Amino acid sequence: MIEIKHKTSGAVLATLEVSSLVGADLRDMDLAGADLANRDLGGANLEYSDLTDADLGGARLAGANLTAVHLRGANLRGADMTRARLGSDSPSRAAELSGADLSGANLAGADLRDSHLNDAKLVRANLRGANLSSRHEEGFSVINLANLEGADLAGANLRNISAQDANLRNADLSGVDFTAAVLGGAILHRANVADADFTDVELASVTMEFANFSKARNAVIPPYKRNLR
């Protein structure tokens, strides 16, 4: 038997007749504020559960199903979320991660399609090969105001993403597909943009000092920025 308790009050939020949370069925549960720090939830199904403000720092969520999960304000620092499923073919079922702290989290290969990461912290997070695109013509993932300083997004799919005022300083953006992305006010200072595709991206208000756009693809650099180094 496993008890899941609230991180501050210690109140029991759920009692499960299982010996492990690996692969556990945790669908549609109210776990707001839960203490799941350093727990192994690999392959668990948390679809439709409420984990608002939960502590999942250092937790293992590799391959977990997190579609339609509310993770607003949750602590996911250092969590292993490799190949986790947070996105969906239906935008309404994508995970809500606004204000979540994913600093140092491993999201390599994660499905983040149409997910909401407004004001999320992803400092030095690993998003290598992650998918933040949308299957829908008018759909998009949102990382407005997100802090991705030093994050690894090499090869990630960011087509149509809304990344207004996002901090991508010193991030590895090599091979990223930014097609039709909205980057107004984004900071790409010293970012690695080698082989990144900027088709149909407006770069006028993007901070791009010391990012070598000569190695990027389809980037239309405003004349007054062409001599920036």
Amino acid 87: pLDDT: 86
Q: Please give the structure tokens belonging to residue 168.
A: 């991508």
Nearest to 94 by CA among 145, 133, 44, 38: 133
The DSSP annotation for 139-207 comes to ---B-TT-B-TT-B-TT-B-TT-B-TT-B-TT-B-TT-B-TT-B-TT-B-TT-B-TT-B-TT---TT-B
pLDDT in tens, the chain (229 residues): 999 999 999 999 999 999 999 999 999 999 999 999 999 999 999 999 999 999 999 999 999 999 999 999 999 999 999 999 998 777 778 899 999 999 999 999 999 988 888 899 999 899 999 888 866 555 567 889 999 999 999 999 998 888 999 999 999 999 999 999 999 999 999 999 999 999 999 999 999 998 989 999 999 988 877 655 5
Which conformational region is residue 153 in: left (phi greater than 0), alpha (psi within -120 to 50 degrees), or beta? Answer: alpha
pLDDT of residue 93: 86
Helix and strand totals (H; E) in the chain: 0, 2
pTM (whole model) above 0.75: yes
**Which tokens go with 134?**
């949308």
Residues in the chain: 229
Specify which residues 3 forms β-bridges with: 15
Domain residue ranges in the chain? 20-229
Q: Which neighbouring-strand residues pair with 116?
A: 96, 142
CB of 151 within 8 A of CB of 129? no
The Cα–Cα gap between 154 and 172 comes to 6
| Whole-number pLDDT of residue 136 | 55
Q: How confident is the model over 134-152, as pLDDT tens digits?
A: 665 555 678 899 999 999 9
How would you classify the pairing of strands 12-16 and 2-5?
antiparallel
Task: Establish how many alpha carbons lie within 13 A of residue 166's alpha carbon, considering only the half-sphere containing its beta carbon.
Answer: 28
Q: How far apart are the first and last CA of the chain?
A: 59
**pLDDT of 53-74, one tens digit each?**
999 999 999 999 999 999 999 9
